[in-house]
Amino acid sequence: MRVFLIGERAEYRLLARTHVEVEWSEALIVEHRLGEDPPLDPEFAAAGFDAVLMVGGAPTQRLEALAANCAARPEFPPVVLVLMLDPPPAPAAAPHGVFRLYGRKIERDRLIRTLAEAAREHKQRMAARRAQPDYERRYRFGAVMIRGHRCIRQIGSGGMCKIFLAESERAGTIVVLKVFSQVPDVSERIVGFDRFLQEYEIVARLRHRHIVRIHDLGVADDHAYIAMEHFPAGDLRQRMKAPMAPADAAEFLAQTASALDAIHSVGVLHRDLKPANIMLRNDGSLCLIDFGLAKANELDADLTGTREIFGTPYYMSPEQGHAETIDARSDLYSLGVVFYEMLSGRKPYTGTTAMEVIYKHRRADLPPLPAHCGPYERIARRLLAKAPDDRFQTARELLDALGALKAPA
């Protein structure tokens, strides 16, 4: 039994979960904390679940509306709506696809019977859908068939990857699915494929609030794929289109520095830090993504070769732009460029060619920041020092400096 459990109060969710697990000891239950987790995506279909269990008390309007909305979605499993209050004298009929239960306490036997009935109904619906000739298309991502992920649409491509919006039946959420577009030949070493797999190896071992969550890695039809957290709020580049208060920029700087502190502590460099690789969650917090150019210091293979330049010139450190040895201080320089842009609304160095920009990073003076950014000027200039030895030496040192700046005198 796979149950998608939705509820606002933790004690109600725990009570419902306990009843389900007593009956089905191996049940897989994924919780959605109503009011805390991001709202359900309009394209979410709970495709990997046998039933949806919603539990809550008064007022009931929010939960009732959500149950009706979900039940109206194609392929959504039946909803068992448990309302922890006495039934009204003349309760309205439940919408199609919704089983409504009332009571100050959850009647376990009644709940289990209703969940089993909902699961049987869903199984019958799905059997009819699987018999349709186009059913398999739901799992097709271009030329690749990936079971367990329902394709919603392609949303982009990058390098050797195609990027899709999908629903993970196992994780019970909308994900971004990156599908490696080149079939690896075991007879030769494909650098891009190695880097793609390295992205997962790096991120999968990190558990940090400001680092993207990886849901799944696999190989289908000889194509590797990574399923990762979806960010409907967009990236920092979109946020930077509007003026940003210096205090907000400093908070975003601190959150990104915290992510860098975590990856640097395990011997990993990002090497492609830019606003497009810093995503926003619905609560306004930031999250670092896209480790496709990252390099784990402890890995024995140099995937970039000798004196190759990777990254985005606008955000490259002087040493990275000249294909010299880099370390954590190079990521901090890139973060400094992002911080400068958040404060001023413009990049510190621009040019008509990539090489002109790279030259300016090493030789040109840093343009002054607007006067209202004064308290943060020293931090920005230290991040953007030409010589690595003149910068913050670690992300932790940067975080300490930001903390001292906020502390009262």
- Which of the following is catalytic: 50, 216, 235, 272? 272
Is 272 part of the annotated catalytic residue set? Answer: yes
How far apart are alpha carbons 12 and 252 in whole angstroms?
A: 35
Handedness of CA 162, 147, 40, 200 (dihedral sign): negative
How far apart are alpha carbons 385 and 223 in whole angstroms?
A: 42
How far apart are alpha carbons 29 and 259 in whole angstroms?
A: 30
CB 139 within 8 A of CB 151: yes
How far apart are alpha carbons 38 and 56 in whole angstroms?
A: 18
How far apart are alpha carbons 401 and 372 in whole angstroms?
A: 19
Residue 305: which residues within 8 A CB-CB, separation 6 or more? 191
Q: What are residue 296's phi and psi, to 5 degrees?
A: -85, 120
Closest of 50, 187, 194 to residue 127, by C-alpha: 50
| Length in residues, the chain | 409
CB 45 within 8 A of CB 73: yes
Residues with a known catalytic role: 272
